[in-house]
Amino acid sequence: MPDIESVVAEIAESLSRRTDRGKVATYIPELARVPIDQFGIAVFMADGKMFVAGDAETPFSIQSVSKAFTLTLALGKVGDRLWSRVGREPSGDPFNSIVQLEYEKGKPRNPFINAGAIAVTDTLLAGHAPKEALGEILDFVRFIADDDTISIDEHVARSEKQTGFLNTALANYMRAFKVLEHPVDHVLGVYFHHCSIAMTCRQLAMAGRYLAFSGRLPGQNVSVVSSERARRISALMLTCGHYDGSGDFAFRVGLPAKSGVGGAILAVAPGKASIAVWSPGLDQNGNSVLGSLALEQLAKAMRWSVF
Q: Within 10 A of 35 (CB to CB), how many other CB atoms are there?
A: 9
Residue 214 contacts ligand DON per CB under 6 A: no
Q: Toward ligand DON, which CB reaches closer, 8 or 141?
A: 141
Smallest gap, in angstroms, from Cβ of residue 46 to ligand DON? 28
**φ and ψ of 246, to 5 deg:** -65, -40
Q: What length is written for the chain?
A: 307
Smallest gap, in angstroms, from Cβ of residue 202 to ligand DON? 20
The closest alpha carbon to 113, from 161, 166, 75, 39, belongs to: 166
Residue 110 contacts ligand DON per CB under 6 A: no
Q: Facing residues of 267 across strands? A: 257, 275
C-beta separation of 116 from 87 below 8 A: yes
- C-alpha distances out from residue 104 to 98, 123, 245, Å: 10, 19, 22
**φ and ψ of 257, to 5 deg:** -160, 150
Q: Within 10 A of 38 (CB to CB), how many other CB atoms are there?
A: 18
Segment near ligand DON (CB under 6 A); pick from 52-60, 202-210, 233-241, 259-267: 259-267
| Catalytic-residue membership of 159 | no
Segment near ligand DON (CB under 6 A); pick from 102-110, 139-147, 246-254, 258-266: 258-266
| Catalytic-residue membership of 34 | no
| Catalytic-residue membership of 191 | yes
Smallest gap, in angstroms, from Cβ of residue 114 to ligand DON? 5
Q: How many residues sit in the footprint of ligand DON (CB under 6 A)?
A: 13
Strand order through the sheet with 151-152: 60-61, 197-199, 151-152
Candidate list 160, 190, 201, 215; residue touching ligand DON; CB under 6 A: 160
Q: Given 7, 52, 64, 253, which residue is catalytic?
A: 64
Segment near ligand DON (CB under 6 A); pick from 134-142, 178-186, 257-265, 293-301: 257-265
Residue 241 contacts ligand DON per CB under 6 A: no
Q: Toward ligand DON, which CB reaches closer, 214 or 287?
A: 287
Q: Are strands 273-278 and 257-259 parallel, antiparallel or unpaired?
A: unpaired
Q: What letter does residue 93 receive in the DSSP assignment?
A: S
Smallest gap, in angstroms, from Cβ of residue 192 to ligand DON? 7
Candidate list 286, 291, 292, 299; residue touching ligand DON; CB under 6 A: 286
Residue 259 contacts ligand DON per CB under 6 A: yes
Helices (H), 79-196: 99-103, 114-124, 130-145, 154-162, 165-176, 184-195
Candidate list 70, 72, 114, 274; residue touching ligand DON; CB under 6 A: 114
Segment near ligand DON (CB under 6 A); pick from 6-14, 78-86, 143-151, 255-263: 255-263
Helices (H), 55-107: 66-78, 99-103
Q: Given 24, 61, 66, 67, which residue is catalytic?
A: 67
- Name the burial class of residue 112, with classes exposed (0-12), middle (13-18) and buried (19+) by CB atoms within 10 angstroms of its CB: buried
**Which residues are documented as binding site for substrate?**
64, 114, 160, 167, 191, 243, 261
The set of catalytic residues is: 64, 67, 191, 243, 261
Q: Given the rule CB under 6 A, which residues bind ligand DON?
A: 63-64, 95-96, 114, 160, 167, 195, 259-261, 286-287
- What residue numbers does the annotated binding site cover? 64, 114, 160, 167, 191, 243, 261
